[in-house]
Structure 1
Amino acid sequence: MAVPKRRQSKSRSRKRRSHDALTAPVYTSCTNCGSLSRPHSVCSACGTYKGVQILKVKEKKK
């Protein structure tokens, strides 16, 4: 089994871990209905993508 020859310094470990931070998800407003959705994906509220109807969305019953 491989064992490190020398101890890794704190700065070297922290440089490697600098990219591990979590980022908040990005949302954009739908051009058709205005609801928030993830970019480059079909809107879950109206079912459109780039102005084209992709999915048939059922309306919620009240």
Structure 2
Amino acid sequence: MTDLRHDGAEMSDAEKRHDQLTSAPDSTEADAAPRIDVTEHDGVTRIDVRDDAAVRPGPGPGTPEADGA
């Protein structure tokens, strides 16, 4: 099955991601906000978590690891 936009054109990967992340009940545009930056330099791919990402990897608030204990 091909994912198509309302105008019949095929959806880009970014459009598919946005559609998937905003289709759940109670979802918002913020749910589809970018969380990583991917760059490539001299054949090396680097993936960085964005500073403004709402969801970040690692221990969550209230855990001893996050509180520095």
User: What range describes the TM-score normalised by the shorter chain of this pair?
Assistant: under 0.3
Normalising to structure 1: TM-score of the pair? 0.23
Greater share of residues in strand: 2
Larger Rg: 1
Q: Please, what TM-score do these two structures have when normalized by structure 2?
A: 0.22
Q: Which has the higher helix share?
A: 2
